[in-house]
Structure 1
């Protein structure tokens, strides 16, 4: 039976740029990083709660076909206790962040931004268990 998400894999066009974005700007801890010589590819595992994001660098990966409605993964959402501190950190690093919206079904606040390759990422405000929404 499925009980959790273990990891999400992201192929990036510029490994150093994406590693810096996810590790330094988003602040995700690097769990391990390996050079896979047989594939000419870096792999970096980053922690995010109980799950991981795997960054891969493959030689000349094809671009994403279209956004946001291409078939496949639409976006990756990060739960945060409050949007403002994360938005401030992103904008301080010149990352464009969309206007905050309200989820019409849950009443929670959320916003979108993009990683260095244009992958849509979401911040979804979800206070820690036991706390009311802000």
Structure 2
């Protein structure tokens, strides 16, 4: 028995419409399903990422803030594979998304960089 891959990553956002726009209009993830859960006053948006993964985007009334420490124990960032980092950086720039300088992974020689979602969650693009 073995794990077959990542099924989904769950993200809680502070502004549902803003985050929905970011993930669907800017990052261009397609919507699988959108559900409003009345008893929780909460949305759950399932987004298709690549061929086999999903993001579950949740909204909750007044979620607590995350402690901002990139080296704290826990999930550090979410990385997406792209064909060309330079082209994707130009695309993000055209949408007003601030992107860090491109770096080279010293272990693989691949190019990568970071940007943030509307709630300052760190996202990475990593070249194939």
Same fold (TM over 0.5): yes
Q: Distance in 1 between matches of 2:10 and 2:70?
A: 18
CA drift at 1:93: 1.2
Shift of 1:55: 0.3
Correspondence 1:60 to 2:70: no
Paired residue for 1:23? 24
**Aligned equivalent of 2:118:** 116
Q: Which residue of 1 aligns with 2:82?
A: 80
Which 4+ runs in 1 deviate beyond 6 A?
A: none
Q: 2:99 aligns with which of 94, 97, 100?
A: 97
Taking the aligned partners of 2:82 and 2:69, their CA distance within structure 1 comes to 24
SS of residue paired to 1:88? helix
- Quote the Cα distance in structure 2 between the aligned partners of 1:123 and 1:116: 16
- Structure 1 gaps of 5+ residues are 127-134
Counterpart of 1:129 in structure 2 is none
Deviation at 1:38, TM superposition (A): 1.2
- What displacement does 1:84 show? 2.1
Which position in structure 2 is the counterpart of 1:132? none
CA distance in 1, matches of 2:107, 2:61: 42
TM-score, normalised with respect to structure 1: 0.91
Query: Deviation digits for residues 19-61 of structure 1, max 9, x if unmatched?
Result: 0000000011111101011111000011111100010001111
Which position in structure 1 is the counterpart of 2:12?
Answer: 11
SS at match of 1:90: helix
Structure 1 position 66, deviation (Å): 1.7
TM-score (norm 2): 0.95
Tell me how far apart the structure 2 counterparts of residues 88 and 28 of structure 1 sit (CA, whole Å): 18
User: How many pairs were matched up?
Assistant: 126
Name whichever of 6-15 and 69-78 sits farther off.
69-78
